[in-house]
């Protein structure tokens, strides 16, 4: 093969996980599947409210998908390096390549090896940048899948045996938050992203029957080989997501997208859900994430583009803000926010501690049980995403460490403390789980009710939510996480506050009427 000029893929540099050690060279005949993410054919305008029909979704994919010339160039690159094109998605701007580790290393100018972490977990990793030939360099946004280290964790917390403040069913939480009655999410589809675990249909039947609720229609979709595989700790996340969203909006269809816990799997799951013209989710709920600076720039850029697609197509994406307070679990003494919650195209969901009396809220404060090692809501100011226009008048401060005017996290909140958590059923056992993982499907369920009442998808919700009257939220003014303190209006613990569902719908109906001139 003649000498070809090679260029580094921007933001593709990798280092081993902290404390991980190389334990051996990769087997040259190991088969690897890589996702090549390409640039947009045409740039997209700012996301708007409302959703797109089946035909309009396909039209969006054509207009803002990958150019035919870029797809052809990548396929030519693949064939030249002995790789197989096993998938081609112009709308998602993706080409899936398959081949041996030997061929992949030569094609992308990197060295792969096996690593072992301090906990004994193993992964296939690489160091340094990825390079590609100059013939495709300008078109490539990311090359994902060569390194398969876990990138995210599920943001759920099981209640400890010592903490027993109380627990609620999702329907009780909905009642206390004044969710609307007379709607059940009919006509809506909630997509749920899962990076591990699974659900047991018999458990779901038992759970919903116990609540006196008709079990929602649930479908599993495999992405990158991910499967519904119950039997591990991540089942708590999967069951929590389905049971909370399904209890609040039992009339909605629920589609669970299972993918591996890698940057490739996470990106591809979001892209699959956003561009799913079969199930057409109007809401996507994500309860997984990791510190925003733990991702490579290329992976974060690719996921941001997929999330922007979702916003552009009128899909509301709710994302857990994290369960480790203002450090996001990083032990460097600095402030961190969680990604993808820090992405400006999503509705970031923080957590509260909910105390009730006689079925009504008597107290609601920031969830912070760090002193007892029971977690706290994530929240803070992004160092990587600039403040979006919808937060321009919300009073978001600059990052106190870097002075960067970044995107504030979270946008909204809800009950998350596991000691005032959600009664759910997991692997044949009734248990109580909390965490901001519960708040993302809580808000997803609420948005399904909103969409049904509005008669159309709310879509990219953030601009409208930052304009509705304060009465649409319960302003949380007490507590911290711990670097940021709660206060009047928006704060970096609970955002705008927890929902007052009926008032929120009334405000959104008013906005819709004003926009249409009704």
**Structure token digits, residue 457:** 């998808």
Strand order in the sheet with 21-25: 21-25, 112-116, 122-126
Exposed / middle / buried, residue 482 (Cβ in 10 Å: 0-12, 13-18, 19+): middle
| Residues with Cβ within 8 Å of residue 423, at least 6 apart in sequence | 167, 168, 169, 430, 431, 432
Phi-psi sector, 515: left (phi>0), alpha (psi -120 to 50), beta = alpha
Determine whether 471 is an active site residue: no
How far apart CA 280 and CA 498 sit, in angstroms, is 28
Determine whether 243 is an active site residue: no
At 231, give phi and psi (nearest 5°).
135, 0
Task: Tell me the C-alpha to C-alpha distance, in Å, between residue 160 and each of 164, 166, 290, 437.
Answer: 8, 12, 23, 17
Q: Length of the chain, please?
A: 518
Active-site annotation holder among 91, 203, 237, 411 = 237
**Structure token digits, residue 78:** 């693949």
Q: DSSP string spanning 306-350? A: HHHHHHHTT-EEEEE--SBGGGTT-TTSS---EETTTSTTSEEEE
How far apart CA 29 and CA 99 sit, in angstroms, is 9
How far apart CA 12 and CA 1 sit, in angstroms, is 25
Active-site annotation holder among 70, 241, 268, 328 = 241
How far apart CA 83 and CA 70 sit, in angstroms, is 17
Measured over the CA atoms of residue 461, residue 380, residue 16 and residue 119, the dihedral's sign is negative
Query: What is the SS3 assignment for 147-198?
Result: CCCCCCEECCEECCCCCCCCCECHHHHHHHCCCCCCCCCCCCEEEEEECCCC
Determine whether 437 is an active site residue: yes
CB of 260 within 8 A of CB of 225?
yes
Active-site annotation holder among 12, 49, 437, 498 = 437
How far apart CA 140 and CA 321 sit, in angstroms, is 29
How far apart CA 367 and CA 161 sit, in angstroms, is 18
Show the CA angle centred on residue 295, arms to residues 338 and 119, nearest 5°: 90
| Catalytic positions, written as ranges | 237, 241, 437
């Amino acid at each position: 093969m003649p000498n070809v000029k090679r260029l580094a893929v921007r933001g593709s540099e990798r280092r081993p996980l902290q404390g991980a050690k190389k334990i051996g060279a990769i087997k040259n005949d190991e088969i690897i599947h890589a996702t090549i993410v390409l640039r947009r054919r045409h740039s997209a305008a700012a996301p708007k409210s409302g959703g797109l029909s089946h035909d309009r979704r396909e039209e969006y994919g054509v207009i803002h998908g990958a150019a035919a010339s870029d797809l052809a160039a990548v396929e030519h690159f693949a064939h030249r390096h002995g790789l197989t094109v096993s998938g081609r998605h112009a709308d998602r701007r993706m080409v899936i390549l398959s081949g041996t580790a030997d061929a992949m290393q030569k094609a992308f100018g990197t060295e792969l090896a096996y690593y072992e972490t301090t906990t004994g977990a193993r992964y296939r990793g690489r160091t340094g940048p990825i390079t590609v030939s100059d013939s495709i360099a300008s078109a490539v946004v990311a090359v994902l899948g060569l390194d398969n280290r876990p990138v995210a964790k599920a943001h759920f917390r099981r209640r400890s045996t010592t903490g027993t403040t109380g627990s609620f069913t999702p329907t009780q939480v909905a009642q206390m938050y004044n969710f609307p009655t007379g709607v059940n999410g009919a006509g809506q589809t909630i997509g749920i992203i899962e990076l591990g675990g699974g659900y047991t249909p018999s458990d779901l039947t038992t759970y919903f029957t116990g609540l006196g609720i008709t079990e929602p229609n649930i479908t599993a979709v495999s992405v990158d080989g991910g499967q519904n595989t119950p039997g591990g700790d991540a089942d708590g996340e999967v069951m929590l997501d389905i049971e909370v969203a399904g209890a609040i909006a039992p009339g909605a269809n629920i589609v669970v997208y299972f993918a591996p816990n890698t940057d490739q799997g996470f990106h591809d799951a979001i892209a699959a859900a956003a561009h799913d013209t079969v199930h057409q989710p109007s809401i996507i709920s994500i309860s997984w994430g990791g510190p925003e600076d733990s991702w490579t720039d290329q992976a974060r850029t690719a996921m941001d583009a997929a999330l922007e697609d979702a916003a552009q197509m009128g899909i509301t994406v709710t994302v857990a803000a994290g369960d480790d307070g203002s450090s996001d679990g990083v032990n460097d003494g600095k402030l961190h926010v969680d990604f993808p919650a820090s992405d400006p195209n999503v509705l970031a969901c923080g957590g509260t501690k909910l105390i009730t009396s006689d079925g009504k809220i008597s107290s609601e404060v920031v969830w912070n049980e760090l002193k007892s090692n029971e977690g706290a809501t994530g929240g803070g100011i992004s160092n990587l995403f600039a403040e979006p226009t919808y937060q321009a008048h919300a009073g978001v401060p600059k990052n106190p460490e870097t002075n960067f005017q970044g995107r504030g996290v979270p946008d909204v909140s809800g009950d998350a403390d596991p000691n005032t958590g959600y009664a759910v059923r997991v692997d044949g056992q009734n248990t109580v789980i909390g965490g901001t993982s519960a708040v993302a499907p809580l808000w997803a369920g609420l948005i399904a009710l909103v969409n049904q009442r509005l008669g159309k998808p709310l879509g990219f919700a953030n601009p409208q939510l930052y304009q509705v009257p304060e009465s649409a939220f319960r302003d949380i003014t007490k507590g911290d996480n711990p670097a940021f303190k709660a206060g009047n209006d928006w704060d970096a613990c609970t955002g705008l506050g927890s929902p007052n569902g009926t008032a929120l719908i009334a405000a959104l109906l008013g906005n819709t009427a004003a926009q249409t001139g009704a």
